[in-house]
Chains A and B, each alone.
Chain A
Amino acid sequence: MSEALLVELSKKGRKAYCFPALDLPRGFEETVPALGEAFARKTDARLPEVSELDVVRHFTRLSNLAYGVDDGMYPLGSCTMKYNPKLSENLAKMPSFTSIHPLQDTSSTQGCLSLMYNLLEDLAAITGMSWGTLQGCAGAHGEYTGLKIIHAWFLSKGQAERDTVLVPESAHGTNPASAAMNGFKVEVVKSNAQGRVDLQDLEEKLDGSVAALMLTNPNTLGLFEKDILQIADMVHASGAKLYYDGANLNAIMGMATIGDMGFDVLHLNLHKTFATPHGGGGPGAGPVMVTSELRPFLPRPDIVLTDNTYSLEWNGEQSIGKTSMFWGNFLVLVRAYIYILRMGSQGLKAASEHAVLNANYLLWSLKDTFEIPYGDRCMHEFVASCQKLKDTYGISALDIAKAMIERGYHPPTMYFPSLVHEALMFEPTESESVETLDKLVATIKEIVKEGIADPEWIHGCPHNTVVGRLDEVKAVKEPNLRY
C-alpha cells in the first residue's frame, strides 16, 4: 500500500503538538510592538494539520517502505554498509551530549572537546598521519577541505600555476567535482589492463601544473594499487601532493597506514568505515588528516590540550579558515569514537580482514554466474560484469538489481565504475555471516535461472514492491518536486 502525503490527511484545527501557554506577566504581551509592516509576513505556509497519532502512523508506515542494514543485507559497493551498533545510537542520545551548545565557554564543554581530541588522536594513529580536522560533514566535504589545504599550501609557496588535479578513470564522481569546486582543472589518468593506475600515463601527466593526484586504495575495482610507493615517489618528485580518498579504508585498517603509503592528505568516511549510520543519505562525517608539513593549513579552530584542559585554538595565519558552521557533526563523531573504543586496535584489524575474506568468498561463489573482469582476488569489494548475460540472454545489471529487490535484498552498486560494462559492485562488509552470503548467492543464481527461463519476469522486476520501476524520464520532463 502506498502512503498518502501527510498534508493530504490534514483537517483544519487538528494538532499534533501544543506549545505551553505564554507565561509572562499579564498584559505584557500586548505592550510589545508588533513587527513593522515592512517586516511582517503576509502569506501562510501550508503544513499538515493532523493528530499526533496521524504523524506517528504516517512516518512509521514510511519507515516500513524504507530498507536499512537492520532490515537485511546491503552489499552496496564503495558504501560499506556495515552494522551500526545500537550502543553508539544509545550513547549518542545522552542529554549530556545533545543539550550542549557549541558556543558555551570551553570550560563547560570539556567532555565534548576531549572526545573530539581523543578521536583525532586515534584517527591519526590508524591512518599514520600527524593531525586533522573534524569539521568535514561528509566524504565529499572532506575532499573539498583536503584539496583546499593542498591549494593553500601551493599558494603559500608561490606556485599558483599548479592548477590541475589528476584523478584515475575509476574515481568516485565526487573527486573531480571537489577538485572543480576548488577551482582546479581535472585530468583523468588511465587505468592499465590490470585495473590499476597506468604508470606511464601518470608520468606523462605529472608536469608542473599538477597540484595533486587523488587515489582510492584499494581502488573502486577492489584492487590494491601495488605500485603505491612508486606512485608516491613519482608524484612527490614532480612537486605535487598525493591525496587519499578514504572511501575504501575498510579493507586495510590495522594492516597498513595511509601515511606509510606516502599520502599527504586524506579524508575518512566515518559513516562507512567507522560504523556510524547512513541515515538515508547523511549526516555523515568526513574528517581530514594531514602530514605534519600541512598541519598549519588545517581549518580553525584546532582542538588543543594544555595542562589537562582542552581548548579551541583560532590562531594560525596559514589556515584555510573554516569549512562548517561549528565544529563538525559532533553526534556522528561520538558514534565513531564508541565504535573505535569497542573494537580497539585488534578489532579494527579483524574487521578489515573479515571484510576482505567475505568479499573474496562472495567473489568465489559468484565467479561462474558473472564475469569477474579483474581476476579472482579482491580486497573488500569486487566488480562483476553482466555483459555476457546481456549479450546471451538480454539480462542487464539493472535487471539483476531489480530482481534482487524483488527477493528482499538491497542490490549492489550498479554501472560503476564505468570501466566495466554492465557493472555490479559487491561489498559485503565484515558484518555478514557465511550463511547470509550463501543465501545471497543462492538467490542470485535462482534469479539468473528464472530470468533466462522467463525474460518477461525479470524485465518487469520488481513486481511485489509498493511501486514498480518508476518513470524517470517523466520525473525530469514534468518536474513535480513539491506539493
Chain B
Amino acid sequence: MVVYPYIPHTDEDREMMMQAIGIQSLEELYGDLGEDILLSDSVPISQGRSEDEVIRMVESIANRNERGIPFLGSGCYDHIIPSTVDAIASLPSFVTSYTPYQAEMSQGMLQVIYEFQSMICQLTGMDVSNASMYDGANALVEAANICVSFARGKHEVLVSPTIHPFALKVLQTWALGTEHRLVMLPEKNGVCDTSALGGMLGGNVGGVLVQSPNRYGFLEDYTGLSDIIHASGALLCVSADPMSLGMQKSQREWGADIAVGDTQPFGIPLSFGGPGCGYLAVVEPLLRKMPGRIVGATTDGKGNRGFVLTMQAREQHIKRERATSNICTNNSLAALMTTVYLSSVGWLGVKEAAHQCYVKSHYLEENLITLGGVELAWEQPFWCEFPLRFHDTKKMRKFIQELRNEHLFAGVRLQALTRCNEDELVLLVAVTEKRSREEIENYLAGARRVLR
C-alpha cells in the first residue's frame, strides 16, 4: 500500500489491527454510512505531493505577492518586532498544545495567559482582562454584547460613526436578525460628536461604543463622557490601538467600563490581516459578564501557586445557551506573541515606540502639507495615522502609483473601507516607528514629483 504523509501505519500494523478488531478491510469500518452516502470516486482535488514539490509550489504562490514599504494602517500596522517574539512563539510545546484544560500539565500556557491578562490590565487600567478574542472587531462585538446583557431590558447600543468601518460592519452583522439595535451618533469634523449624547441616552440604551485613535487616525476627547453615560445607567466602551496607550489616556482614565482593541501592533506580523489578537478588559463589577477564557492564580494542596482556567460558570461548555458568549478557541498563541513583545520592550519601550510613531507621522504630514495640493482632511490631533485629502481623484491615483513604482504603499483609500463616494478623496497614511528616515524621504520625494 502507498505510504501517506503523517500516517505511521505499515501494512503489517494494519493487518494486525484489523485482525484484532475483527474486520477484513478498512471499508468495513464505514458500514454505518450506507450506499447512498458512500462516495464511489475520490473527491475532486489534486493528488498528494512531496514536501519538495509543495515548497516549490507555495513559494511560487507567495512570490505572486508584491512586497513594499507599507504606509498602510487602518487596523493593521507594520511595527518593529523583536527577535524574541518569533523564537518563543515557535516553541513546539506552546504551538502544538491544546486549550489548557488540564492545569497540572499546562502551567506554562496558563501562566503566559495570566501575564498577558495582567499586561492588558496595566495598559488599559482596567481590573480584569480575558485570555484574548479573535480580533479587535470581534472584541467590540463582545463589548456590545455586554452592554445589552448587563442589565435587563437594554437592547440598544450607541455607536460612534468614527469606529473602523470594518468593525462597524462586523457589529452590524451581530445585530442582524436579533433584538439588538445600533444607533449611530453624529460625526463632526472627523471625530464623534458627543454633544447630543445626553438626549440619546436612557430607556433601552445599554452602552456607548467609541474608538480612539478613530477610523481617520484622530484622537478623540472623551472628557466628561463617562459621567453622562453612567448617570443614565449605561456603560462606556473605548476601543483603542494598545500602542497608542503609551501616549494617550488609558480607557480607565477616560472612565470607561470596557476596554477593547487588537494587540496586533504588539509583536504580531501583518500576515494579510490575520491572525490578530483581540483584547477585552472590564471594571470589576462586569467580571461575570465577560466572554471567553479567564486564567486565575490559586494554590495546590501543598500551598504552591498555580494557574487554572477559572470563572468557567460563564462559559459555553458549562452554561450552553445561557453562556455570556459562544467563544471557545480564542487566539492564545497570538496573545503569547504580545506577551513576549511587551516583556521585551517594557513600558519604556512602549512609550518610546508610541512617541516615535507620533513624531514620524507628524514629520511626514507636515512635509506633505507644505507641498500643497493635499491637506489634512480635518484639523484634529492624530497619533500615528492621518487622513490626507486630495483635490481630485486623478491626482490621488497618480500619487499612489508613483509611490508604488518606488515600492512604497502610500496609504489606504478611505473609500476602499467605507464604499462611500464622499470618501473618495481621502488617503489614510500611517507612519510607525519602523519607517526609517530614508523610507520617509523617499515617500516625500515621490510625493513632490506628483504634487509640484
Contacts and interface: CB of A to CB of B under 8 A. Distances in A.
A343 B48 contact: yes
Interface stretch (A176-184, A197-205, A235-243, A448-456): A176-184
Contact of A479 (B54, B84, B262, B287): B287
B273 A102 contact: yes
B64 A114 contact: yes
Given A32-B359, A470-B299, A139 B7 contact: no
B272 A97 contact: yes
> Of B99, B167, B358, which is in contact with the most chain A CB atoms at under 10 Å from its CB?
B99
Nearest to A406: B104
22 contacts: A5-B118, A16-B346, A39-B247, A59-B340, A62-B107, A63-B94, A64-B108, A94-B58, A99-B270, A173-B320, A226-B32, A255-B39, A280-B113, A281-B98, A281-B329, A282-B132, A321-B170, A326-B135, A346-B2, A356-B29, A357-B17, A430-B7
B300 A434 contact: no
Nearest to B18: A357
A386 interface: no
Contact of A279 (B95, B248, B302): B95
Contacts of B134: 137-138, 141, 282-283, 324, 329
A474 interface: yes
Interface string A35-46: 110111111111
Interface string A18-58: 11101110001100100110111111111111101001101
Contacts of A330: 271-275
9 interchain residue pairs of minimum CB distance = A326-B273, A102-B273, A344-B48, A279-B333, A68-B96, A66-B108, A183-B178, A321-B173, A65-B108
Contact of A401 (B102, B302, B311, B412): B102
Contact of A282 (B7, B125, B136, B329): B329
A131 interface: no
Contacts of B66: 104, 107-109
B173 A93 contact: no
Nearest to A433: B8
Contacts of B30: 252, 255, 356
Interface string A158-177: 00000000000000111011
A76 B98 contact: yes
A293 B270 CA distance: 35
A100 B70 CA distance: 9
A179 B178 CA distance: 11
Contacts of B301: 460, 468-469, 471
Q: Interface size for chain A: under 10, 10 to 19, 20 to 34, or 35 or more residues?
A: 35 or more
B7 A341 contact: no
> Of B246, B294, B306, B320, which is in contact with the most chain A CB atoms at under 10 Å from its CB?
B320
B271 A151 contact: no
Contacts of B121: 482
Contacts of B297: 475, 480-481
A47 B347 contact: yes
Q: Interface size for chain B: under 10, 10 to 19, 20 to 34, or 35 or more residues?
A: 35 or more
Label chain A's interface by main secondary structure: loop
A248 to B, nearest CB: 13
B9 A434 contact: yes
Given A114-B61, A126-B45, A155 B299 contact: no
Contacts of A223: 32
A454 B146 CA distance: 49
Interface in B4-25: 4-9, 13-14, 16-18, 20-21
A305 interface: no
Contacts, number: 692
A471 B121 CA distance: 24
Given A68-B93, A284-B329, A430-B7, 20 more contacts: A16-B343, A20-B436, A24-B363, A47-B343, A52-B84, A67-B102, A68-B96, A103-B72, A103-B76, A108-B409, A137-B138, A173-B320, A173-B328, A253-B43, A255-B33, A341-B49, A343-B4, A343-B5, A360-B21, A469-B104
Interface in A389-423: 401-402, 405, 410-411, 416
B253 A42 contact: yes
Contact of A176 (B102, B137, B298, B320): B320
Given A47-B122, A325-B138, A342-B54, A434 B275 contact: no
Nearest to B178: A183
Interface string B35-60: 01111001111111101001101110
A140 B326 contact: yes
Contacts of B63: 96, 111
B263 interface: no
Interface in A353-378: 353-354, 356-358, 360-361, 363-365, 377
Contacts of A17: 82, 84, 344-346, 349
Interface in A425-454: 430-434
A191 interface: no
Contacts of A46: 122, 347
Given A39-B221, A405-B104, A470-B103, A58 B343 contact: yes
A347 B326 contact: no
Interface string B96-132: 1111101111111101111101110111010111011
B300 A468 contact: yes
A100 B310 contact: no
Contact of B114 (A39, A97, A110, A482): A482
B199 interface: no
Given A39-B219, A327-B273, A470-B306, A481 B117 contact: yes
Contacts of A299: 173
Given A82-B6, A100-B271, A255-B39, A344 B14 contact: no
Contact of A470 (B164, B308, B315): B308
Interface string B327-354: 1111111101000101111111110110
